[in-house]
Amino acid sequence: MDNKDSQQYTDVPAQEGETPSHSHGALGHVHGPNCSHGHHHDPIVRADPKVGRNDACPCGSGQKFKKCHGK
């Protein structure tokens, strides 16, 4: 990748000596598609199962979720 292509992935132009996949610029810590250092985000865990559109609304109205609180 050259500097022209790196601008496609970040709003900050790559500085001399930096790789386009990882740069520190005006926006702070910016990552490209080939960033290889360890950024790990824990997966989101729901306490209750997700309510489907056609399931009964958990508010107890008796309506389908999509017609009650799913709007």
Which residues are 30's β-sheet partners?
23
Taking every pair of Cα atoms in the chain, the longest distance, rounded to a whole number of angstroms, is 63
What is the phi/psi pair of residue 57, to 5°? -70, 135
Task: Check: pTM over 0.75? Answer yes or no.
Answer: no
- Structure-token pair, residue 42: 């824990």
Residue 21 has what pLDDT?
54
List per-residue pLDDT tens for the chain, 71 residues long: 555 555 555 555 555 655 555 555 566 666 676 776 766 788 889 898 899 999 999 999 999 999 999 88
Residue 44 has what pLDDT?
87
Amino acid (one-letter) located at 28? G
